[in-house]
A = this chain, B = another copy of it.
Amino acid sequence: MQTLAPYILTHFRLCPFSRSIRLSLAELGLEPVLVEEPFWEWRPAFLGLNPSGELPVLQLPDHVTLAGVYAISEFLAEEPQLPGAARGLELLPRTREDRAEARRLIDWFQHKFDREVSRDLLNEKVYRRLRDGNAAPPDTELMRAIRANLRYHIGYIGFLADQRRWLAGDDMTFADLAAAAQLSSLDYLGEVPWNDYPAAKAWYVRLKSRKSFRPLLADRIPGFAPAPDYANLDF
């Protein structure tokens, strides 16, 4: 009997891109070996795995390396039934038009949201301290701008969630996982004003209650306690 080599995911616990792939793999019933990478150290061994220095990286049982969330998510979407996967999952919709709509939203949350909110927020509150041991408080002016941006983005999720069952349409897609992954990282830091956005909150509660979300809710970063409601399903 041959055993399948494991899927190996190189990630960081609070990295939203890594989280979107952890969610996807969990939805497929795959349990990758997780290897945590302090990507801010630019370790040569990690740059050998992904020269861009970006997370996550997925190594497949056949030793193919998928570098970055774009390559990984499209790979997973192309073959819903992966070796070793307990179940299939369509990460992208079936029709080309619906796929284009899902990709519009994936782009939004992986890039626009990242650029306008989470990259700077995680840097101010987490990465800067991990990198430099610099305990200087976050820049007040910058945090104000980021939080205003965040409200605009949650408002947009609420707008979509008001009209559709899932962000891109009738079915859950990678757009939901990408958006929820971004928000979950900020939720760990207590930064999401859920109560002002009931439709967005209802959408997030549905995702947060899924089995695939549990490992994320169990994450703890030493030195950074999660917000009180982070793992609470009734918040």
Residues in B whose Cβ lies below 8 Å from that of A68: 103-104, 107
Partner of A97, one of B64, B72, B115: B64
Known: A51-B156, A64-B97, A78-B96. A71 touches B112 (CB 8 A): no
Assess A108 versus B52: contact at CB under 8 Å? Given A66-B100, A97-B64, A115-B115. Answer: yes
Known: A51-B156, A107-B52, A156-B51. A100 touches B71 (CB 8 A): yes
Q: Does A40 contact B (CB under 8 A)?
A: no
Contact A71 B103 (CB under 8 A): yes
**Interface size bracket, A side:** 20 to 34
User: Which residues, 58 to 84 on A, are CB-close (under 8 Å) to B?
Assistant: 64, 66-72, 74-75, 78-79
Confirm or deny: A99 has a beta carbon within 8 angstroms of a beta carbon on chain B. yes
CB closest residue in chain B, given A106 = B70
A111 contacts chain B at the CB level, 8 A cutoff: yes
A187 interfacial by beta-carbon distance below 8 Å: no
Residues of B within 8 A of A78 (CB): 96, 99
- The docked-state distance in angstroms from the alpha carbon of A75 to that of B102 is 12
Cα-based distance from A78 to B50 in the complex (angstroms): 26
| 11 intermolecular pairs with C-beta atoms under 8 Å apart | A54-B112, A66-B104, A67-B100, A68-B104, A70-B70, A71-B100, A71-B104, A71-B107, A74-B103, A75-B96, A75-B100
